Structure 1
């Protein structure tokens, strides 16, 4: 997250800026526009599908963001408890990691990208992350999938 927020990821735009030949500079996920950090994580139709699904799962109002600083401010402005905001920040970090991982799978291994697969990976990794950090007991997978538990 910190490298992405500083625009220090090896996107096609960043590599071309460093005079590295990457061929076509289009986004690896959607092939529609140049692959920049902000496009890859927030403008790409694949990323938008991921954010829509995660927003629906977490029962948060849809927010429109265009950069990493926007997403952090959007979380701060939500009328939720600090605990729920912390959980949402963790889910966002995991989602960004999964989007980046999916992009690399497409670029280096030629694998097809599936929004449903990315979201299911986010849910399961976020569940493991939350269970390892939560000190007040465990949460059932079913409650996690419904994003409904008494801590929030």
Structure 2
């Protein structure tokens, strides 16, 4: 929240999470344009953010609600992102832009789900992986990505293992991702590891080795 606790957009109300996501004037108009009028009274009258989120996730299963759970969550994310952009970057996005971007993201997610539903993930389901990154086995190549993969590569005639390494278990990769936020776009090749990365690597291996 901002330092003075007053909403930076309407400048008239204390800024709570529920105010940002639903009750601010511009945000309320956004929701009013995507939700069936039959449900709007309950939508806008729930008093706590926990009750509001729970109610929406239940209603999202109904076709007549006109907004499934995925779209609700993506809209909330975009609304919060708009708030941060306005405060920290001086940017602003219209409601129409927020809705279009959210629907575009949902469309992409649905296409990915459709394409991956027919893939046999190495026969017997997803394998459980170690809690941390480790060098690949002999004759294997490890490719670390941030949640993205190529369908063309997966369908090639080779054996593939896909596993998730949580952020907490790989603080070095998380540190590099955060450093990239302040870097110019393009390929960056580090001739030598940065000092802060070395400390992250030490912490990663120290913490995980203690669990064994």
TM-score above 0.5, yes or no: yes
Question: TM-score, with normalisation over the residues of structure 2?
Answer: 0.45
Aligned residue runs from structure 1 range 2-151, under 5 A: 11-12=1-2, 22=3, 24-55=4-35, 61-62=39-40, 63-64=43-44, 65-66=46-47, 67-77=49-59, 80=62, 88-134=68-114
| 1:15-66, Cα deviation, whole Å (9 max, x unpaired) | xxxxxxx2x321123222111111111211122122112215xx87323244
| 1:55-109, Cα deviation, whole Å (9 max, x unpaired) | 15xx87323244242232244257726xx98x71111110010001100110011
CA distance in 2, matches of 1:47, 1:103: 10
Are the counterparts in 1 of residues 60 and 69 from structure 2 also a CA contact under 8 Å? no
Q: Do the aligned partners of residues 41 and 51 (structure 1) sit closer, same or farther apart at CA in structure 2, a change above 3 Å counting?
A: same
After superposition, the CA RMSD in angstroms is 3.0
Question: TM-score, with normalisation over the residues of structure 1?
Answer: 0.60
Are the counterparts in 2 of residues 27 and 34 from structure 1 also a CA contact under 8 Å? yes
Are the counterparts in 2 of residues 38 and 68 from structure 1 also a CA contact under 8 Å? no
Equivalent position SS for 1:61? helix
CA distance in 2, matches of 1:121, 1:74: 20
CA distance in 2, matches of 1:127, 1:60: 26
Q: Do the aligned partners of residues 112 and 132 (structure 1) sit closer, same or farther apart at CA in structure 2, a change above 3 Å counting?
A: same
**More helix per residue:** 1
Please say which structure displays the higher CA radius of gyration.
2
Stretches of structure 2 lacking an aligned partner (at least 5 in a row): 119-212
Q: Looking at both structures, which has the greater relative contact order when contacts are Cα pairs under 8 Å and sequence separation is at least 6?
A: 1
CA distance in 1, matches of 2:73, 2:61: 20
